[in-house]
Amino acid sequence: IMLYSGTALDLESTWIGTSRGHREGNPILGQSKVRQAGVSIGTAVMVDYLAARMERERPSKLAGFMRASVGILRLVNVGWNWRRIR
């Protein structure tokens, strides 16, 4: 849940910032909303898929850690974005 909610909040805060005249700082994401959504959601889906596959092959806490760590990084991005756009 944290993985996808972090991704959604990161996209929302990015789009609010760009609507207020700020630019996306990540050159991979660029300035296109479609590209930003595709890369961000695609990354989240890939992490979730790899974690699920890891859980099937050998259950461990590492899969949950992968999901949580990417979700936390996305939430850090949200904090950074909100700090800049307030």
Q: What is the pLDDT of residue 86?
A: 83
Q: How far apart are CA 1 and CA 15, in angstroms?
A: 21
Q: How far apart are CA 31 and CA 24, in angstroms?
A: 6
pTM for the full model? 0.87
List, in sequence order, every beta strand (DSSP E) within 14-73: none
- Percent of residues in the chain assigned helix, strand, coil, to nearest 5: 80, 0, 20
Q: What is the pLDDT along the chain (86 residues), one digit of tens a residue?
A: 889 999 999 999 999 999 999 999 889 999 999 999 999 999 999 999 999 999 988 878 899 999 999 999 999 999 999 999 88
Q: How far apart are CA 76 and CA 63, in angstroms?
A: 20
pLDDT tens readout for residues 44-58: 999 999 999 999 888
DSSP letter assigned to residue 31: S
The sign of the dihedral angle between the CA atoms of 46, 68, 75, 8 is positive
